[in-house]
Chains A and B, each alone.
Chain A
Amino acid sequence: MKIKRLHIKNFRCYYGALGPIDLDTTDTANVILVFGENMRGKTSLLQAIRWGLYGVARDRQGEEIPIIDPSTKEQLLSRVAESAAEYSMQVSIEFEHDGEQYALTREAASSSLAPRSDEDFLIHRHLQSGARVFSEAAVDAYIQNILSEDISRFFLFDAEMLEHYEDLLKNPEQEALAVKQAIEKILGVPALMAFESLSEEAGLAEGRQNTHLKKRNKASELLEKVSAANDAITGLRRDIAEMTRQRDELRRETDEAELECKRNSDIEAKIKQLNEIASQIETEKSKLLLEYDGLAALLRRAWWLPLVPQVQERLSRLREEGRAATESLRQLHRIELLDESISVKACSLCKADLHQQEVTAMRKESQNLTLANYGRDLSTLLDATRRAEIYDQFSSPEDLVELRLREDNVAQILTEMSALETREAELRGAMENRSYGDFNIKYEKWQNLCDQLRHLEDGIETQRNSLREKETEKVALQKALNGLPDADPALALQTSLYQELSRIFEDAMAEFREDLRNSVGEDASAIFKTLTTESGYTGLEIDENYGLLLLDHDGGAVPGRSAGAEQIVALSLIGGLNKAAVREGPVVMDSNFARLDRGHRENVLRFLPQLGSQVMVLVHSGEIGQDQDLSEFGVKVARRLEIRRVTETRSEIVSEVGQ
């Protein structure tokens, strides 16, 4: 498919009828650059193409954008058109496929005076190729056949979401499988599965052989065994087919349930926050209990705590008394020494004679000391000491410190808990009208469906193993039958020929799939080496699910890739797939080159023309320099368009000057 022209009417920021926008490219100049500053409508252009082709446009969370949404959320119908009561929007795509020209138009229109939801709109599809007009009911199926929506993510892609490609391949099992199937669809694998009819032919030949032997009443025991094996095989195949049907249905339900959960992802985030808060409250409660236990133990151990302030006061007074009594005793002792020295006129300590002057001074000192009259004695001191010893037992300043500390901790914990509870109440309040309970039910439903899906897939695998065993048994039995003297040699030859062919095809398919995957891996690796500026990386390695591992110099996988590296790896995969694809589609890339450094950006730009037969890149002026960047691949650029702002809510697409 190659897009030639585009017409847009009243789609998102494109009000009124726009177009035809010429998007034709040639083999030598296959790149279209659409410049537009942020918020001008680059993503809307990509969404218009998607909606035109498939009738669905999604936002970056993968949610389908409604045609109209009375709330402030996104909607497809131009807000300007809505204000002007124009409830009709249209996208027309003129394209070429297998040499034929097609014109596809999709229109959503409402006859209601004030449509409130998508149910108020009628969708019209029109597809025409030359004189041939397709019935409206056949349009979607025909487009899906040309470029299936499943694989469109590899053609019409939003580079903001590039890094999610790897996540898709790495994470949820069902999604990885779905992506793998979509990739194999691009690569044309399903078309080769027709070899399965060979085993049916083998079965028919076997049936004829067995009828032939039955008519001759030969080998009845062997025939019964073959018949039983056939019955078992038929039963197993029927079971597998039924289980596969159930699985597909279940997978659809699971996808829907998952989407429903994603739609309520803000509630999920709030629930996560609530769980975190609940866990924090539990932690605080545990801390609080510890503090309470500590306080209870303290009050049991130091039951005299209420008296501690008084004890300390009395102790301090007693110490003061003790100090005074000690001083008094010291003075009394001094007076005794002085009086003794005065009476004998010699020093009572060293016995040296004293001069009259010294005696006078001593007398004066003694009189002064006597005048102070402390009146204390040893018994006072002893009493103070004894009482202090008693009070000391009940002083426990460290217990008082512990009590205050624990009280502070309790207050702090209670404050924290109160804040958490307020936050919890706010969150619950915010979710009250958003069906918190419903979300839980939806989430559980999704989880249950995932479990059922896993069980069903396990069951299918078990049945397939049984089938393989039974088939092997039947082949051996049939071989024995074919080897009987009464067997029809032509039918025996037919049976073994079909069986052998079927086996050869089966092996070849497995080998082809692996070769194809390796080829995609090698191409992606080669593209990666072209794109990357990091000499430390030696390439990419592809895994069974088309996931890509980044390899270092020693061939080891590089963990934890940056967002920029993810983008380069994803682009490499898309490049590899497009190279190996049996179906060609226009590559429309809503880029985000700003995430790449200059070196990587230059490499990516140089590689763009090789990404597909028609490549449309939506960029802002900061991402591609008009002069320097374009000098590299300017000749490959077929057209340059610009999205211009008309008003805040309205844009238009024009060819750049000189085009």
Chain B
Amino acid sequence: MSINQEVADRDRDQIGLPDETDDLLKVLVKQTPWFKNEMDVYRLAITVALARGLEPRLDESETYTTKYQVSSLDPDGRLKLLITTFAPDQSKTPYRWAMRLANKGVKFLHSALIDKGLPIGEALGLPMREV
């Protein structure tokens, strides 16, 4: 097993975002009333990407800047549990997957909430209220 392969198989203790996506995350916190801090958006972006099937590319070349310790982001391990349940293929490195999902999810949320101005429920892909 090569060193690179070994690194790729190891899960991450710290996760983050590419700088460009981090800027979008900051805009989301600043310009919408729904989020109190960046970590709230980050966590939500992961589940949005999961729910909408925004599959990250495995060969992507984006550079991530660390933002959080996974112990802060997922203190009770529920995020890991959710990822391993919904993406069992990634159960070896759930946080590495979570980080990529977050990248996709933040971009999506920015597009939906800022660019398109959708209501939060619709942006999250939740079904409309039954009439």
Residues of A within 8 A of B (CB): 289, 292, 295-297, 299-300, 303-310, 387, 390-391, 393-394, 400, 403-404, 407-408, 411
Contact = CB atoms under 8 A, between A and B. Distances in A.
Given A308-B126, A393-B78, A303 B44 contact: yes
B40 A306 contact: no
B119 interface: yes
B81 A305 contact: no
B50 interface: yes
8 contacts: A295-B120, A299-B120, A300-B36, A306-B48, A307-B51, A308-B126, A309-B51, A404-B129
A306 B36 contact: no
Interface of B: 33-36, 40, 43-44, 46-48, 50-52, 78, 81-82, 85-86, 119-121, 124-127, 129
A403 B121 contact: yes
Given A296-B33, A296-B34, A296-B35, A306 B81 contact: no
Nearest to A401: B129
B47 A390 contact: no
Most B C-beta atoms less than 10 A away, residue of A303, A305, A408: A303
A201 to B, nearest CB: 83
A299 B34 contact: yes
Contacts of A289: 33
A408 B51 CA distance: 23
Contacts of B48: 306
B67 to A, nearest CB: 16
Given A300-B40, A303-B47, A307-B51, A400 B35 contact: no
B43 A309 contact: no
Contact of B126 (A292, A309, A393): A309
A139 B78 CA distance: 99
A304 B82 contact: yes
A305 B105 CA distance: 14
Given A296-B34, A403-B121, A404-B121, A306 B50 contact: yes
A63 B3 CA distance: 96
A403 B126 contact: yes
Contact of B85 (A299, A306, A390, A408): A390
Contacts of A393: 78, 81
Contacts of A403: 120-121, 126
Nearest to B37: A300
Contacts of B44: 299, 303, 305-306
Contacts of A306: 44, 47-48, 50-52, 124-126
Please list the 6 inter-chain residue pairs (A to B) with the smallest Cβ-Cβ separation, ordered nearest first.
A292-B33, A306-B51, A303-B43, A306-B124, A306-B47, A306-B48
B35 A304 contact: no
A304 B78 CA distance: 10
A654 B128 CA distance: 77
A99 B33 CA distance: 86
A471 to B, nearest CB: 72
A391 B85 CA distance: 9
Contacts of A404: 121, 126, 129
A296 B35 CA distance: 5
Contacts of B125: 306, 309
A654 B82 CA distance: 98
Contacts of A300: 36, 40
B49 to A, nearest CB: 9
A408 B50 CA distance: 26
Given A299-B40, A307-B86, A407-B119, 10 more contacts: A296-B36, A299-B34, A300-B40, A305-B44, A306-B44, A306-B47, A306-B50, A307-B82, A309-B127, A391-B85
B40 A296 contact: yes
A124 B82 CA distance: 98
A309 B52 CA distance: 11
Nearest to B105: A306
Contacts of B86: 307, 310
B62 to A, nearest CB: 22
A306 B50 CA distance: 8
Nearest to A405: B129
A390 B81 contact: yes
